[in-house]
Amino acid sequence: MISSALEFLRSQEIKNNNFLIFGDEIKLIFYIKNKIKSLHANYERVLISIEDKDFDEQLQAAILSNSLFSEVKIIEFTSNKNRLSRLLVERIQTISSLKTQNILIIELPQISQKLIANELSSSLSDALCTINCTPPTAHQIKEYIALMPENLISKDNLESIVEMYEGNFSLLMNDIEVAKQASLKEKDISSVFFSKAIKNNFKLFEEMQKGNFSAAIKIVDSMKENDKGSGVLLLWMLARDCRAIIELKTGKNSLRHLKIWSNQENFYKEYANKISEIKLNEIILLLDKFDKSIKGVLNYDSWQIAKDLVMQFCRASKKITT
């Protein structure tokens, strides 16, 4: 039986020792593993790749050896394959059938729910708890937020915030946690989410793709004004944009793995059709300069380079407006 991550996080009692987690929503995987680990104050963590040639030896050593300083072992089995080979299925079956006091967590972030249901579920032990960590819907995101202790977002703001983050669950939850750590009050929440996190992350590329240089520069200026350390975030955003364009130009049709959803994807596809290889390479070289200036390797004003990057992005759209 497959449980949703929401069902698992809501559950008051966990009776299983063996778990299988699938889906690529990083924050959900983090929450699930944290809940499992929270049941054991003292444990030893062991990591094993299901694909390793010496998998059997590692498994035996982990199961049979005693931990000198911990009550229990939490053994995490990982695989980044996006297909279920016969060997992978056999090894997962072996893990699921183990009877041990240790906690076993199988993590398959690249395997789809369809593959799990059609090719794996029927052959697994009933003792295995299978948890779906695929990206939640907008309605589910609200339910996850409701689970958080000391929820900072009022019902009035919740609908708008979820809508403007456009399904990017991990980004939204990270920003909520940052706001919580900063001990922000309800009156400050809107400025954090609406002005900083949302505006910058979802509007900058849209403005650059349209060639709206002035609007794009205003976003960069707002980042600098709100937090001079946000240059690293801007670097990540622009690097993501470059990667998305490169992947589209090399024939990939979906950017979901980059957390770019269909309603944003159209902007990237439109831009990828406009920009030339020469212009893209110029932007990548400038991005490297931006990176090195942030790290202090090059003695340049990183924010000025950021503005130069925005200008190059806008110029490559072939229709600059002011």
Going residue by residue through the chain, which has 322 residues, state the pLDDT in tens, using 9 for 90 and above: 789 999 999 998 888 899 999 998 888 999 999 999 988 888 889 999 999 999 999 999 998 887 667 778 999 999 989 899 999 999 999 998 898 889 999 999 999 989 998 888 777 878 889 999 998 988 888 888 888 766 666 776 677 677 766 667 877 787 777 666 666 565 555 555 555 444 445 588 989 999 999 999 998 988 887 666 678 878 888 988 999 999 999 988 888 777 676 677 888 999 999 999 999 999 999 999 998 998 888 888 999 999 999 999 999 987 544 4
CA 210 to chain centre: 27
Cα dihedral 308, 309, 311, 316 in deg (nearest 10): 140
Q: What is the pLDDT of residue 178?
A: 66
Which residues share a beta bridge with 75? Answer: 46, 104
Q: Which two tokens stand for residue 139?
A: 């309605």
pLDDT (0 to 100) of residue 18: 92
Residue 104 pairs in a beta bridge with 18, 75
Q: What pLDDT was estimated at residue 151?
A: 62
CA-to-CA distance for 149 and 146, rounded, in angstroms?
Answer: 8
- How many C-beta atoms lie closer than 10 Å to residue 301's C-beta? 10
| pLDDT at 199 (0 to 100) | 45
Locus of tokens 């990270």: 174
Stated as kind and residue range, the H or E segment containing 76 is strand 72-78
DSSP annotation string for 218-236: HHHHHHHHH-GGGHHHHHH
**pLDDT for residue 196:** 47
DSSP state of 256: G
Count other Cβ atoms within 10 Å, centred on residue 266.
Answer: 10
Q: Residue 148 has what pLDDT?
A: 74
- pLDDT of res. 284: 94
Query: Left if phi > 0, otherwise alpha if psi is -120 to 50, otherwise beta: which for 217?
Result: alpha
Burial class (CB in 10 A: 0-12, 13-18, 19+), 128: buried
| pLDDT at position 198 | 44
Q: Which of 262, 256, 260, 237 is nearest to 313 (CA)?
A: 237
Residue with the two structure tokens 């990548």:
284
Domains of the chain, each with CATH number or no CATH:
2-132 (3.40.50.300), 139-316 (no CATH)
Per-residue tokens: 269: 């596809």
Q: In which region does residue 168 sit, left (phi positive, over 0), alpha (psi from -120 to 50) or beta (all else)?
A: beta
Q: What does pTM read for this prediction?
A: 0.61
